[in-house]
Amino acid sequence: MGKISQNRRGLTALKIALLTVLEVAVIYGMALNASGNQYIVYIVFFAGIIIAVFIPTFIFFPQRRLIALKIVLFIALEAVVIYGGLWALLFAVFSGSTFYITLAFLFTGITILAVPVFIFSRRIKRTALKIYIGALAVLLLVLTGKATYTALDARVPLVMESRINLEDVKPFSDNVSRLPQSASIIISENIPVMDGALALYPLYSAFATAIYPRKDYPPEDFELYLASGEGDEAGETVFDHEVHFTNTVNAFEGLLDGRVDIFFMADLSDKQKKQAEEAGIELVCTPIGREAFVFFVNSSNPIDSLTVEQIQDIYEGKISNWSDLGGSGRIKAFQRNEGSGSQSALQRFMAGRELMKPPTSEYAGGMGEIIVAVSDYKNYKGAIGFSFRYFAAEMVKNSEIKLLKINGIAPIEENVANGEYPIASNFYAITRKDNANPNVPIVLDWLVSEEGQYLVRAVGYTPIK
């Protein structure tokens, strides 16, 4: 008995020594990684805690080793699932996609619930496994369905406003519209800087060709516009010429900060008016021509004409199916980005009625995030979109879309000129009232003169006079 008792004490002492060595090793390993990669530190620290807690069980209670091993496995797996699930949820939340947020939440929740069943339960393990596999299969089907829908949706034709080749219509190029004779004025100094909407670039390029000095006017200078440097802080322009295109939004900002003298646009949006008011800037809008605002649908749509009120009801969301108007199928009413000339025209057309939320598209951003943006017009059978007649004249050439009559009146130039087409509006040369350049009023007067109005018609718009 004495020897047995001695042996047991010796074995216990050995176990204690082994426990001490292992615990010291664990603590030492944790200390070594304390200054490493933060994720490795977390993993090592977490693993060290588990080992430090369960080593005594493995050494002193051999009959409890299996349950201890299961607990270690349970904690490790749950930690991995929760850590991975949190990252997936964060990614989904920052992406702004409700679909992926829901998917990440369901997958994480189902797996968290399944892990303890698989590890500790004997009776329902097989049933739980079937349920878990079934749930994952459903999630996979949903994900596959989403991918299939996205792939099919990508095959629907994207009909966009025709992109003007700016180089072809820049000032003094072969394709720019010209007066039949020399202009009555030539601006050779204090030349007003022009910028504006894409649709109006061919027009103000023709103006510059008529009255500005002959030289190179590269149209796209957005990079230079942003490369302000110290000159920007000093209030100096970064352009080395006076006619350019930086798009509607940036051209308007240029007008407010003094980089642009004359801004060409259909009309100011409420947001832009508010920007100017908050900046304490009074703007002058000089009408120089007229343009029709048009709506179009898929060419297979049997509807050829709508009233103003019917279109307003569509874009307010009151009418959502073509069957209410003599057609069939759900209406998909597309819009444009806030601040664009055509979206501002739609807001004016709505006459104070609230616009419904526009269809959106998801695309991958530069950092892997999912960016949600207003969709460009996709030519679904139930789609309706809008533009200005200048662009739409090119868009309808592919015969995939057709322009709608409004109140029974077609958007042709004759109807725009005589005022019969109900959604024709002015477009403007917009300036700051406090602009000190003496040539700005001279140019504005010339734009509405016989010569200026000749070029308005030559480019494809309807003269104001």
Q: Which has the minimum average pLDDT: 89-103, 150-164, 257-271, 345-359?
A: 150-164
Confidence of residue 268 (pLDDT cuts 50, 70, 90): confident
What's the whole-model pTM score?
A: 0.57
- The verdict on 360 and 386 lying in the same domain is yes
- The verdict on 182 and 273 lying in the same domain is yes
**How far out from the chain centre does Cα 299 lie?**
28
- The verdict on 29 and 145 lying in the same domain is yes
- The verdict on 145 and 21 lying in the same domain is yes
> Does pLDDT of 58 surpass 90?
no
- The verdict on 145 and 13 lying in the same domain is yes
Confidence of residue 203 (pLDDT cuts 50, 70, 90): very high
Q: Which amino acid is at 112?
A: I
- The verdict on 420 and 445 lying in the same domain is no
Rounded CA separation 436/419 (Å): 36
Confidence of residue 42 (pLDDT cuts 50, 70, 90): low
462 three-class SS? strand
Assign residue 330 the CATH number of its domain: 3.40.190.10
- The verdict on 321 and 263 lying in the same domain is no
Q: Which two tokens stand for residue 109?
A: 């929740």
Q: Which has the minimum average pLDDT: 224-238, 268-282, 316-330, 393-407?
A: 224-238
Assign residue 268 the CATH number of its domain: 3.40.190
End-to-end CA distance of the chain: 123
Rounded CA separation 393/406 (Å): 16
The mean per-residue pLDDT over the stretch 264-282 comes to: 91
Rounded CA separation 257/188 (Å): 24
Rounded CA separation 105/98 (Å): 11
Q: Is residue 159 part of a domain?
A: no
Range of the domain at 235: 167-281+436-458
- Please name which of 122, 83, 89 lies closest in space to residue 104, comparing C-alpha atoms: 89
pLDDT of residue 279: 94
Encode pLDDT of 321-371 as tens digits.
999 999 999 999 988 877 677 888 888 899 889 998 887 654 444 333 333
pLDDT of residue 87: 78
Encode pLDDT of 284-301 as tens digits.
999 999 889 999 998 899
- The verdict on 198 and 253 lying in the same domain is yes
Contact 411, 403 (CB under 8 A): yes
**How far out from the chain centre does Cα 318 lie?**
26
Tally of structural domains, the chain: 3
